Amino acid sequence: MARIDFTGRVAIVTGGGRGLGRAHALELAHRGASVVVNDAGFNLRGDDAGDAAPADEVVRAIAAAGGRAVASHHDIARPQDARALVDLALSRWGRIDVLVNNAGNSRHGLLTEVPVEDFRAIVDVHLIGSFLVTQAAYPAMVKAGYGRIVLTTSQVGFFGKIDSLAYAAAKAGLLGLMHAIKLDSISHGILINAISPFALTRMGAIFPKELERLIDPAQVAAGVVWLASEACRLNGEILVAGGGHFAVARTYESRGIDLDDPASASAEMVGERWEEIADMDDALIYSDALQAVGATFARLKNMTGLA
């Protein structure tokens, strides 16, 4: 395919000062985008005073390579800061074509160990922050009739991780946010997708030195740049990327069983017929929740002669 180019496009990358966000910002700028590099510079827990250096350094690197960028030190978990971030992009370049929601923090713990303050702190950045920036940027995209939004989810949100309760809940919540937005956004020329990355960042575990070059954040940036491009026509997809591995993750529903008499349902019946209920052969993918419920509703209407 032709080289993906962002000349004339404006991109916002949250959490763009380090790790994955830095790689996304650099690659978008390399391909011609004007980039707002947002990073409040917090520590991994997100509970210190913040540091302007990470975002500023990425902006300098982009400028040194001949690109265009501006630093934002806004805290996206705060509504007024999310709005100010978007206003910065609009005042500087007059448009927003790409939004990469990447900012995150990390606090570990089991269910019985996690203080509610830690749970809220994780959800506030990953989920609420992504919501706030997307909500603020959306009207400009609607007005332009074009936009690409990328959310950052995780396989931890799909499958869980024993010490990452709040992180898993936030990352799963982002998928619900994506699926809800996609139903309206597509009519405005705006597509929204999610990246599920695996890379060497300060959030990850300590990896052997021999593996580090194989899990560079730049490899994930390849997937993000594709999802953020005009050439991408996907909407509501989840791209798993990292370590040279690329895959798609989706939510499926089994065909299940249908009772002739719904009133005959019992707990015992569910247990006895579980293998039939859970059989994933010829599984279904629905475009939205109404379609999923609608299949059962249509069957019930047929049973009662209402169809």
89 Cα distance to chain centroid: 20
Q: Closest Cα partner for 170 from 120, 98, 136, 233?
A: 120
CA atoms within 13 A on the CB side of 119: 9
Rounded to the nearest 10 degrees, the angle between the axes of helix 116-123 and helix 165-185 is 30
CA–CA separation, 13 and 65 (whole Å): 18
Q: How far is CA 141 from CA 10, 145, 149, 184, 186, in A?
A: 11, 6, 10, 12, 11
Per the residue annotation, which of 146, 167, 252, 286 is the catalytic one? 167
- Find the angle CA(83)-CA(193)-CA(29) to the nearest 5 degrees: 65
Q: Closest Cα partner for 9 from 232, 217, 177, 187?
A: 232
Task: Name residues whose C-beta falls within 8 Å of residue 145's C-beta, 6 or more positions apart in sequence.
Answer: 188, 189
Catalytic residue at 146? no
CA–CA separation, 28 and 34 (whole Å): 8
CA–CA separation, 109 and 113 (whole Å): 6
Q: Active-site positions?
A: 167
